[in-house]
Structure 1
Amino acid sequence: MTHSNRRTFMIGLGATGLLAACDNGLRGTGATTIDARVDSTLSQLYNNYPGTAALRDKSVGQLVMPLVTEAGFGIGGSYGRGALRVGGATVDYYSATEASFGLQIGAQQYAHVLFFMTQEALQGFRASPGWAAGADIEYAVSNRGENLSAETITSLSPVIAVVFGQAGLLAGATINGTKYSRIIP
């Protein structure tokens, strides 16, 4: 094994270990459990941040990730499972994974919802074998308690992300670079 192959193997082994440490209790629990967690997450979102109801009403679909666990120590990763809702009904299940490298240490958990504001954005997401969140996503942020900024509610962005419920010791929670893949629970 060459030095380069060993390094690649060690990085892969480390990333696998970190993702295993990111276990968030959703593996192997089935569609019924994921749907129940999605219902609970949406209820919490709309109750704690009433401004997000306007996003729901304007969107053509929502990808709900009830619990994403992220951990890092130089090499990091995150994992979560959730459901895509269209017209209030679950149409598919997805996993969210991310790998990261750099100066980082800690762990956190959070929930997020992607609001698809156009049919084109939703169709592109569903047609993709593995959709990666990028710079084209606009983040809705709370500016005072339960209020969302008016700019976010009236945004023309095709996808709006709401990240909430952060708990842990890793600073910041974004979904840039997160890859979403369809799964069978």
Structure 2
Amino acid sequence: MSALGLSNCAHEPVTQANASHASGSQISRDSHAALNSLYAKDAHARRLGNKAAGVLVFPDIVKGGFIFGAEGGNGALLQGGKTTRYYQTAGASFGLQAGVQKFGYALFLMNKAEVAKLDQAGGWDVGSSPSVVVLDYGKATEYSTATADNKKTYAYFFNQKGLMAGLGLKGSKITRIHPGQ
């Protein structure tokens, strides 16, 4: 709960400052490249992407902390192979943590209702969404698109670098941004 509260406090000033300095074309290029790289490494992710109503890709999230932590990065919503909107993820945390890491993640939004949730109520609190299922390589290999629940959102983490314990979406907020070209 505290991480969720901290992320709400941290996100609005970060979002406004970030959007004014972001390049939409760069975010789009990076998001497409990251998703193509994930698909090349993981056939299960590609099959899931083929069934999804949209894929929200954050290619470069930077996370760091020592007791207090923060993370953030930009991404794009890809639908039908095209970038349709831009988003920022930001989060804050408190607890036993130390380190810095960089990673990416893709959210496979399995139906139009999940896509619509992205822009409702000023942003999407990922930590409060019970419908997000995190798939790691172990779970993904047992997972097939035949068992995909069209009412959920599936998250894939990729390109982890650095030293920090654990990966998760709890306490992060996704907010739509309108970057420059």
Note whether the superposition's TM-score is higher than 0.5: yes
Post-superposition shift, 1:29?
4.1
Any runs of at least 4 consecutive aligned residues in structure 1 with deviations exceeding 3 A, and if so which? none
Alpha-carbon spacing, 1:130–1:37, altered in 2? closer, same or farther (3 Å): same
Unaligned runs of 5+ in 1: 1-11, 21-25
Alpha-carbon distance in structure 1 between the residues aligned to 2:154 and 2:146: 9
Q: After the TM superposition, which of the residue ranges 72-81 and 134-143 deviates more from structure 2?
A: 134-143
Question: Residue 152 of structure 2 corresponds to which residue in structure 1?
Answer: 158
Q: Secondary structure at 1:161's aligned position in 2?
A: strand
Alpha-carbon distance in structure 1 between the residues aligned to 2:135 and 2:144: 9
Alpha-carbon distance in structure 2 between the residues aligned to 1:92 and 1:27: 15
Q: Secondary structure at 2:119's aligned position in 1?
A: helix
The match for 1:177 among 166, 171, 176 is: 171
The match for 2:32 among 30, 39, 53 is: 39
Alpha-carbon distance in structure 2 between the residues aligned to 1:153 and 1:69: 34
Question: Residue 54 of structure 1 corresponds to which residue in structure 2?
Answer: 47
Matched, 1:139 2:134: yes
Greater gyration radius: 1
Q: Secondary structure at 1:33's aligned position in 2?
A: helix
Aligned residue pair count: 162
Identity of aligned residues (%): 31
Give, as a single letter, the amino acid of the residue that structure 2 aligns with 1:164: F
Post-superposition shift, 1:151?
5.6
TM-score by length of 2: 0.81
TM-score by length of 1: 0.79
Going by fraction, where is helix more abundant, 1 or 2? 2
Which runs of structure 2 are paired with 1:84-99 in the superposition (5 Å)? 84-99=77-92
Alignment RMSD (CA, Å): 2.4
Alpha-carbon distance in structure 2 between the residues aligned to 1:149 and 1:174: 20
Question: Residue 118 of structure 1 corresponds to which residue in structure 2?
Answer: 111
Question: Which string of whole-angstrom CA distances, capped at 9 and with x for unpartnered residues, describes residues 93-122 of structure 1?
Answer: 100000000111101110000000111111
Give, as a single letter, the amino acid of the residue that structure 2 aligns with 1:126: D
Question: Which string of whole-angstrom CA distances, capped at 9 and with x for unpartnered residues, describes residues 12-48 of structure 1?
Answer: 9xx98xxx9xxxxx98241111111011101110011
Q: After the TM superposition, which of the residue ranges 53-62 and 169-178 deviates more from structure 2?
A: 169-178
Bigger RCO (CA 8 Å, 6+ sep) = 2
Question: Which string of whole-angstrom CA distances, capped at 9 and with x for unpartnered residues, describes residues 62-121 of structure 1?
Answer: 100000000011100100001011222111110000000011110111000000011111
Question: Residue 3 of structure 1 corresponds to which residue in structure 2?
Answer: none
Question: Residue 7 of structure 1 corresponds to which residue in structure 2?
Answer: none
CA contact (8 A) 2:98 2:165 kept: no
